[in-house]
Amino acid sequence: MAQVRNKQVILKDYVSGFPKESDMNIIESIITLKLPQGSNDVLLKNLYLSCDPFMRNLMNKPQGAPINPLAYTPQSVIAGFGVSKVLESGHPDYKEGDLVWGFCKWEEYSLVPSSQILFKIEHTDVPLSYYTGILGMPGITAYAGFFELGSPKKGETVFVSAASGAVGQLVGQFAKLTGCYVVGSAGSKEKVDLLKNKFGFDGGFNYKEEPDLDAALKRHFPEGIDIYFENVGGKTLDAVLLNMRVHGRIPACGMISQYNLTQPEAVTNLAHIIYKRIRMEGFNSADFFHLNPKLLEFVLPHIRDGKIVYVEDITEGLENGPAALIGLYSGRNVGKQVVVVARE
């Protein structure tokens, strides 16, 4: 029976404030690459792991109810979305050699309940790593948030924060395909150049160089904003509320500016939700996983003919995973952050 070393990323203890690489440890355990007798679990070799902002919230000490069932506990292996290859399966839906996408631990090999596998990967003519991004959770987030909650109409104005990230770069391109005017904010000149030159945004600005966000938005949206795709929160949301149009929509999927603060920032312009009859709705991608077939049907042809592009920031090696994950919170990544555990 094959026993192999299994490299793993462990959370040392609950985190408060900004996470550090030293909050995680790389350890090696031993795993038997054989399903236990009668098990209907699935034995996986993990290939690509997704670094996502929400993982920061899973590092917090649980406060009150409800406790997130995915939350990490000290001295346990962290987990997130990833692409894996089935080595052995006790479940009829999966067989050896299948490629799957789901919620997996940050380790080389995993034994998981089949319920953690979200779907089998059928299309392999596009990079497998895309299933951590455009064809996975961030893709569903962008698709559902923009189309289902944003209800875009041709000619409307769209603002996207964290616009060069895993979700934002897609929302901008979906907006252009719908015939909207779209502007994004990002945290460096390099990222703003990507928005305009690679993703086809109509405009973009570096929020770190804008002393007055309200003025920056008025410059780009003299007539106001119909749809704000919310990834950031805080001061950006406050300025956007002043610039929304009547009956504007704000799909909110993230507030990365707030995750590492011990005291969240106040938002002072909320009354504009009433004055302008704005609909702001928070959502979780998991609410929309059932739309995955629609997402694939929509984006795959556009990827194949080059109408949608996707930028990834690839980190090689599980041991470099903690640094890649921590980098998200200072905006070090350019595009979707992926960790390669193994290529096959």
pLDDT per position as a tens digit, 168-219: 999 999 999 999 999 999 999 999 999 999 999 999 999 999 999 999 999 9
Task: For residue 71, name the pLDDT band (cuts at 50, 70, 90).
Answer: very high
Q: Has residue 65 got a pLDDT over 70? A: no
Question: What are residue 165's phi and psi, to 5 degrees?
Answer: -75, -175
CATH code for the domain defined by 3-133+311-340: 3.90.180.10
Helix (H, G, I), strand (E, B) or coil at 320: helix
Quick: pLDDT tens for 247-262: 999 999 989 888 888 8
Task: For residue 2, name the pLDDT band (cuts at 50, 70, 90).
Answer: confident
Helix (H, G, I), strand (E, B) or coil at 83: strand
CA atoms within 13 A on the CB side of 312: 20
User: Over the chain, what is the mean pLDDT?
Assistant: 95
Q: Where are the domains of the chain?
A: 3-133+311-340, 137-286
Q: Within 36-145, where are the H helices?
A: 137-143
Most confident of the following: 2-6, 51-55, 175-179, 333-337 = 175-179
Quick: pLDDT tens for 131-173: 999 999 999 999 999 999 999 999 999 999 999 999 999 999 9
Task: For residue 330, name the pLDDT band (cuts at 50, 70, 90).
Answer: confident
Q: Does domain 137-286 have CATH number 3.40.50.720?
A: yes
Helices and strands of the chain, counted as H and E runs:
8, 16
Instruction: Spell out a b/e string for 136-164, using b for 16 or more CB atoms within 10 Å of the CB, else e.
Output: bbbbbbbbbbbbebbebeeebbbbbbbbb
Q: What's the rounded Cα separation, in Å, for the pair 87 and 47?
A: 12
Strands across the sheet with 76-77, in order? 24-32, 3-11, 76-77
Q: What's the rounded Cα separation, in Å, for the pair 178 and 71?
A: 37
Total-model pTM:
0.92
Handedness of CA 200, 205, 208, 214 (dihedral sign): negative
Share of the chain above pLDDT 70, in %: 99
Residue range 267-274: average pLDDT?
A: 96
Which value, in Å, is the radius of gyration of the alpha carbons in the chain? 21
Instruction: Answer whether the bond into residue 66 is a cis peptide, omega within 30°.
Output: yes
Alpha-carbon distance values, 107 to 7, 32, 54, 77, 133 (Å): 5, 14, 19, 8, 19
**Residues 135 and 126: beta-carbon distance below 8 Å:** yes
